[in-house]
Amino acid sequence: MNDHDPTVPARLNIEIKGRRTSFSLEAGVWDALTQMCRDREQSMDELCEEIVENADEGVSMASSIRTAVLQHFMDSVEAA
């Protein structure tokens, strides 16, 4: 596990649909999202763009990403 507090928000930049954007997620969510990228062999930009494109209308990017990360790891546990 990383030596940082997973609850502390961190702001990172990504590109979605050719536009740079930044948003804040808890460090633990960024860590999980990074692992999800490895698992799916996608870049952070590719994965976030896919998540946002498939999100329900009106749901924020950050909420969509948190939900997708949670679902990914829940699916992993079920498959084990």
| CA dist., res. 44 & res. 78, Å (int) | 24
**What does the pLDDT look like over 34-44, one tens digit per residue?**
999 999 999 99
| CA dist., res. 10 & res. 77, Å (int) | 26
Domain range summary for the chain, segments of one domain joined by +: 9-79
State the maximum Cα–Cα separation within the chain, in Å, rounded to a whole number.
Answer: 37
Per-residue pLDDT of the chain (80 residues; tens, 9 = 90+): 456 788 899 998 999 889 999 989 999 999 999 999 999 999 999 999 999 999 999 999 999 999 999 999 999 898 88
Instruction: Please tell me the pTM assigned to this model.
Output: 0.86
